[in-house]
Structure 1
């Protein structure tokens, strides 16, 4: 079985859309996205543009859908689709639950709401080497000692967790985590406090907007963000997309479910490689491929060869 996985905000880098493969499906996706957004999508990956949450999230959605379409044109359609945070949107397109133009409009609205809620002074930090339980205890102690709150945003792996909050709180919490034995704790290139209660109001507004968008039951399996479980109805996928900014992303649970359901090859959409590294570390029996690290022809051939071994 083939699983397509889509990275979230923080994976972006200068010029990442320009580095996508020269493939007819990619070019067609660029043209369609430019029409929907009313601007050339190839302006979304400049250093200036990448300071905007809207540009980053729209660009990641375009990249994910473009590579999924290119792979489909080569006969590589996914049995399973999952994305981390905004990556859930191209995953929903990939499995047939959401038309691409509607996904792009919803992502733009999502990013606008997030950016408006916290235009500055907030973000994310990645902590490696401590468990969710240990970090929850540290976060409680943080508050008890008079510090502003921090929240568990993503559980990417058992000891690879992302915290959300105000910049000052995160900077202080990084020192606390390192003192408690964290192997590494660093800020991420994200300027909003994703996946926590700070975005409750923005999530409610996006949920209202999402009710105007036509979703369909998926044609292949979609794995949700909040519960890390398969979702089989249009309403369940709509709710997952509209509310994932408010709740912890259970990425490792999603990856585990894909492995248990029979995924033998994963392809991570550009520009990410972090999700591939997690899959390789924890499930080495799966062939985990990062599209951003291989020429497209080699990517397709490698995936096809691995799938034929099943």
Structure 2
């Protein structure tokens, strides 16, 4: 029997129209969007479904993404597809916790709305930067980064792809040093801040106060935390891990490898885009990977997986 994990993408995967067909076809999805919009005093339907200039701004993106991904998750569960484990990349970790039963969907949306605002304003504009480093082993990147103050590893995405972050000049220096050390490409990213660096610690402290008001529960299935790539099975560590996560490295590749070691053989990427599916191809091609971003994909994937259970 397959062991199934739900995976959730992070910021950057958002796209206009995400989850619109779920809103139109599922009363539960509609209720989530409408309740979240009222709670935040923010029209999530307009933000997600209509052309606008706000969806790509961090302080709006995060609530929109989590609402969309959890609306899709609700429909999968309604159809009888449930995970044995969950994980999410950065922002997606909130979806993973909610899907695992560690917090309510509305609390997840409410918390990331605050998280997005805190992260957007954590560092003065232009002081931070991020770059993707392609074609270099993790240990080689780490060795170079140890010599450069003010630059850090933000994401271990998959073999041959790491993201660095930190002070703008330090990230530029690190990029040059990594290229000289053998990186195939160094690609500066269009982001609004030096995410997953110590420059975000102020955002983490503010987030801590918001999380203190959130009711956390023991997850009904384990989720994997970005901070350590380890399974979380109790409610006690969740709050502290989410505070640390804002300024810590996202250990995505390690998370996937640990899930596979725990017996997960079927992964479902939930939400817009195919970022996590592309990472999986470079991490382990022996597992089964599905994507669900549309109503039609939900029908197809549920049918395929459930007939084998």
Name the TM-score, length of structure 2 as normaliser: 0.89
Deviation at 1:90, TM superposition (A): 1.0
Q: 132, 135, 143: which is aligned to 1:129?
A: 135
Deviation at 1:232, TM superposition (A): 1.2
Deviation at 1:286, TM superposition (A): 1.5
Matches within 5 A, 1:138-157: 138-143=144-149, 149-157=150-158
Distance 1:20 1:271, change over 3 A: farther
Q: Does 1:31 align with 2:30?
A: no
Q: Does 1:69 align with 2:78?
A: no
SS at match of 1:278: helix
Distance 1:51 1:10, change over 3 A: closer
Q: Does 1:90 align with 2:91?
A: no
Is contact 2:253-2:283 (8 Å) kept?
Answer: no
Separation in structure 2 between the aligned mates of residue 35 and residue 237 of structure 1, nearest angstrom: 26
Give the unaligned 5+ runs of structure 2: none
1:44-73 superposed Cα distances (whole Å, 9 cap, x missing partner) = 344510342111111111121111111111
Deviation at 1:182, TM superposition (A): 1.7
Number of the residue aligned with 2:62: 57
Is contact 1:225-1:251 (8 Å) kept?
Answer: yes
Is contact 1:289-1:299 (8 Å) kept?
Answer: no
CA RMSD of superposed structures (Å): 2.2
Separation in structure 2 between the aligned mates of residue 34 and residue 21 of structure 1, nearest angstrom: 13
How many residues matched? 303
Give the unaligned 5+ runs of structure 1: 144-148
Separation in structure 2 between the aligned mates of residue 307 and residue 279 of structure 1, nearest angstrom: 22
Is contact 1:63-1:269 (8 Å) kept?
Answer: no
Distance 1:252 1:21, change over 3 A: farther
Is contact 2:76-2:298 (8 Å) kept?
Answer: no
Separation in structure 2 between the aligned mates of residue 262 and residue 307 of structure 1, nearest angstrom: 18
Number of the residue aligned with 1:301: 300
Separation in structure 1 between the aligned mates of residue 192 and residue 170 of structure 2, nearest angstrom: 14
Separation in structure 1 between the aligned mates of residue 110 and residue 33 of structure 2, nearest angstrom: 15
Is contact 2:19-2:69 (8 Å) kept?
Answer: no
Distance 1:267 1:300, change over 3 A: farther
Number of the residue aligned with 1:99: 104
Is contact 1:98-1:215 (8 Å) kept?
Answer: yes
Q: Which range moved further: 170-179 or 260-269?
A: 170-179
Number of the residue aligned with 1:42: 45
Deviation at 1:20, TM superposition (A): 5.7
Separation in structure 2 between the aligned mates of residue 277 and residue 20 of structure 1, nearest angstrom: 24
Distance 1:284 1:306, change over 3 A: farther
Number of the residue aligned with 2:223: 222
